[in-house]
């Protein structure tokens, strides 16, 4: 159920038009070949009784599963160098996942028998050639993923057999933006094709390197260069200069998977900051094992559907107050194994639905600055959290942060050998009871534009 909701969500977010099943059946009747194939698969499948919704392994070692009536074939990362035969499956698949294999060429009619596909994921292969008739028969295909391959050219004829194609990824291929690409580029630029070929950029010729296919002047591609032009256009060329990119683009550095939900994998990319342009349909974002030091304000603001955010194993020292703004759907946040000493006042305020927070492996400092997080956690008892241990000052090393807070509230903080002077921290002498603090926090948490901590003069009766 959860899965079907997310599949629907993905589909609607992508603006895909999935045919209702009766409609699809009607269409199938009209096609003799397909009808025959349906019968065939029914006969072949007749002896099998395991039609449950659980995955099982079938030749060639791929997982076949059914989710809300749609058949998925998952052949990701199976060392395949060709498309497996459609005869291998007990039912006609709707979704074929072939990411991270070693496919190099797509020959004509290679998808014969796969006419029921609505999505085809071929990302992260080694495809350098797609023959013009490769996608013949995929009349129901709406989603085609070809990013992270080795394509330098693709003709428009290749995509003509797929009249329902609404979403095609082509980025991170070394596109050679010359005459052979003219008709494809024109097709991508038709305004109604707004989800075809976004983010794809030219690798060659040199004067177009970095330019988006969507933004090329198609008329220029088939123009002869003047004979004195030795491959490099003069600097007076009308082409815009290549923009200097200060931030890496998430689409260029990360891998995106669409099924069963939109997941972006940015692990181990040497990132020193959050990449730009995280698409707003991403549900899981994994930024673990990078070198991010600082979360800046509003970096995730567009990622309104994000439910899982993994920032573990970075070098994070600081989270700006507005860095998690907009993450209203976030369920899981992993901040473990960073360099965090405290969490800035206000950082957690948008995380209404957070249920899991991982905090281990950070050098949390048990002084006033940590109180915000502990009281936020108390105000949000539904959040399961782990790893909140004091690393310093020495008298609290290894203790639970909650223990330190309790000590504090009992008015008997341990001997402090030194005072951490800090301009933006309230004088610890003004500390108050949990009830007062809770009231104070609730008051402060109310209007977001008034999130600056106030100094209250509260006298403790002792």
Ligand X SMILES: *[C@@H]1O[C@H](CO)[C@@H](O)[C@H](O)[C@H]1NC(C)=O
Interface residues toward ligand X, by CB under 6 A = 267, 288-289, 310, 312-313, 332, 334
The nearest distance, CB 284 to ligand X, in angstroms, is 8
Instruction: Give 169 or 307: the residue with its C-beta nearer to ligand X.
Output: 307
The nearest distance, CB 196 to ligand X, in angstroms, is 32
Instruction: Give 119 or 284: the residue with its C-beta nearer to ligand X.
Output: 284
The nearest distance, CB 388 to ligand X, in angstroms, is 16
Instruction: Give 11 or 359: the residue with its C-beta nearer to ligand X.
Output: 359
Instruction: Give 118 or 288: the residue with its C-beta nearer to ligand X.
Output: 288
Instruction: Give 147 or 310: the residue with its C-beta nearer to ligand X.
Output: 310
The nearest distance, CB 334 to ligand X, in angstroms, is 4
The nearest distance, CB 387 to ligand X, in angstroms, is 12
Q: What is the 3-state secondary structure (H, E, C) of the chain?
A: CHHHHHHHHHHHHCCCCCCCHHHHHHHHHCCHHHHHHHHHHHHHHHCCCCCCCCCEEECCCEEEEEECCEEEEECCCCCCCCCCCHHHCCCCCCEEECCCCCCCEECCCCCCCCCCCCEEECCCCCCCEECCCCCCCCCCCCEEECCCCCCCCCCHHHHCCCCCCCEEECCCCCEECCHHHHHHHHHHCCCCCCCECCCCEEEECHHHCCCEHHHCCHHHHCCCCCCCCCCCCCCCCCCCCCCCCCCCEHHHHCEEECCCCCEEECCCCCCCCCCECCCCCCCEEECCCCCCCEECCCCCCCCCCCCEEECCCCCCCEECCCCCCCCCCCCEEECCCCCCCCCCCCCCCCCCCCCEEECCCCCCECCHHHHHHHHHHHHCCCCEEECCECCECHHHCCCEHHHHHHHHHCCCCCCCCCCCCCCCCCCHHHCCCHHHHHHHHHHHHCCHHHCCCCCCCCCCCC
Instruction: Give 64 or 286: the residue with its C-beta nearer to ligand X.
Output: 286
Instruction: Give 124 or 336: the residue with its C-beta nearer to ligand X.
Output: 336
The nearest distance, CB 77 to ligand X, in angstroms, is 17
Instruction: Give 183 or 256: the residue with its C-beta nearer to ligand X.
Output: 256
The nearest distance, CB 268 to ligand X, in angstroms, is 8
The nearest distance, CB 335 to ligand X, in angstroms, is 10
């Amino acid at each position: 159920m959860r899965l079907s909701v997310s599949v629907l969500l993905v589909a609607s977010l992508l603006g895909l038009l999935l045919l209702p099943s009766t409609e699809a059946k009607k269409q199938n009747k009209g096609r003799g070949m397909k009808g025959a194939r349906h019968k065939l698969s029914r006969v072949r499948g007749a002896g099998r009784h395991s039609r449950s919704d659980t995955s099982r392994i079938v030749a060639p070692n791929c997982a076949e599963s059914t989710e809300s009536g749609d058949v998925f074939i998952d052949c990701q990362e199976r060392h395949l160098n060709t498309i497996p035969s459609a005869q291998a499956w007990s039912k006609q698949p709707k979704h074929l996942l072939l990411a991270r294999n070693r496919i190099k060429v797509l020959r004509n009619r290679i998808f014969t028998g796969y006419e029921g596909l609505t999505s085809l994921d071929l990302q992260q292969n080694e495809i350098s050639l797609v023959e013009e008739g490769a996608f013949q028969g995929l009349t129901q295909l709406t989603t085609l993923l070809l990013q992270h391959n080795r394509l330098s050219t693709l003709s428009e004829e290749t995509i003509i057999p797929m009249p329902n194609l609404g979403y095609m990824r082509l980025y991170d291929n070394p596109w050679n933006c010359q005459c052979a690409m003219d008709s494809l580029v024109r097709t991508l630029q038709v305004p109604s094709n707004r989800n075809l070929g976004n983010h794809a950029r030219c690798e060659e010729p040199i004067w177009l390197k970095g330019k988006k296919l969507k933004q090329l002047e198609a008329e220029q591609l088939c123009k002869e260069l003047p004979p004195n032009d030795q491959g490099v256009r003069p600097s007076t060329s009308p082409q815009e200069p290549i923009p200097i990119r200060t931030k890496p683009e998430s689409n260029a550095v990360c891998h995106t998977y669409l099924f069963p939900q939109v997941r972006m994998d940015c692990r181990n990319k040497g990132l020193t900051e959050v990449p730009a342009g995280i698409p707003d349909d991403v549900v899981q974002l994994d930024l673990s094992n990078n070198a991010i030091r600082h979360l800046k304000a509003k970096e995730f603001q567009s990622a309104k559907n994000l439910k899982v955010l993994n920032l573990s194993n970075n070098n994070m020292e600081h989270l700006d107050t507005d860095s998690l703004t907009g993450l209203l759907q976030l369920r899981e946040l992993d901040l473990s194994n960073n360099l965090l000493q405290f969490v800035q006042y206000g950082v957690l305020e948008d995380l209404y639905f957070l249920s899991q927070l991982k905090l281990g492996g950070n050098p949390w400092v048990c002084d006033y600055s940590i109180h915000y997080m502990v009281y936020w956690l108390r105000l949000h008892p539904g959040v399961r959290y782990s790893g909140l241990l004091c690393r310093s000052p020495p008298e609290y090393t290894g203790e639970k942060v909650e223990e330190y807070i309790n000590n504090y509230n009992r008015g008997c903080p341990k001997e402090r050998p030194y005072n951490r002077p800090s301009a933006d921290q309230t004088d610890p002498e003004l500390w108050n009871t949990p009830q007062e603090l809770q009231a104070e926090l609730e008051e402060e948490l109310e209007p977001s534009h008034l999130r600056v901590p106030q100094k209250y003069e509260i006298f403790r009766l002792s």
